[in-house]
Amino acid sequence: MIYLLSTKILRVFILSLFIISVGGFLKIAKAGTESASFSKKGTHSGKKSASKKTPVLHMVKGILDKVDLQDHPMTLTATMRGANHRQKDVVWNLTPQTTVFFQGKSVGVKSLQKNENVLIYYHKISKKLFVVRVRILGSAVVLKHHH
């Protein structure tokens, strides 16, 4: 009788271990499948974002020469000094999303005036320069020396 009980208990014990190990194996297999599908999704979205590059935001400092809000596209012209101390006039396109800041407050593009020192933040897309935002630093000081 003890022999029969021990064999039944042994059989139940072995069967229980088998069921537990199969259950654990299924959980590991399922987790492996989920991680594999996750990596595929991550790779796919990575390819998608790589094809659509966000444009680099550039910044220059200059003196405002002209703002044309009547023409389409609206434009802004400013003079900058390069590394070789030569002046260069550059024309940028203004968009309806362009924001202008003065003394930390948002003001409209109509606040842009000739001869103001400005910081211009822009994107270069297809050889065109699009202004994202302008920070007005103040009026440019014109020094006149009398000799």
8-60 pLDDT, tens per residue? 777 777 777 677 776 665 555 555 555 444 444 444 444 555 556 777 888 88
Q: What's the pTM?
A: 0.56
Where do the structural domains in the chain lie, given as residue ranges?
A: 57-139
> Tens of pLDDT along 78-135?
888 766 666 778 888 888 888 999 998 999 888 888 888 999 998 888 888 889 999 9
Distance of CA 9 to the CA centre of its chain: 65
Specify whether domain 57-139 bears CATH 2.40.50.320.
yes
Distance CA 95, CA 85 (A): 30
Give 132-144 pLDDT, tens digit per residue.
999 998 776 555 5
Indicate the residue type of 139: S
Average pLDDT, the chain: 74
Running DSSP on this structure, what letter comes out for residue 114? T
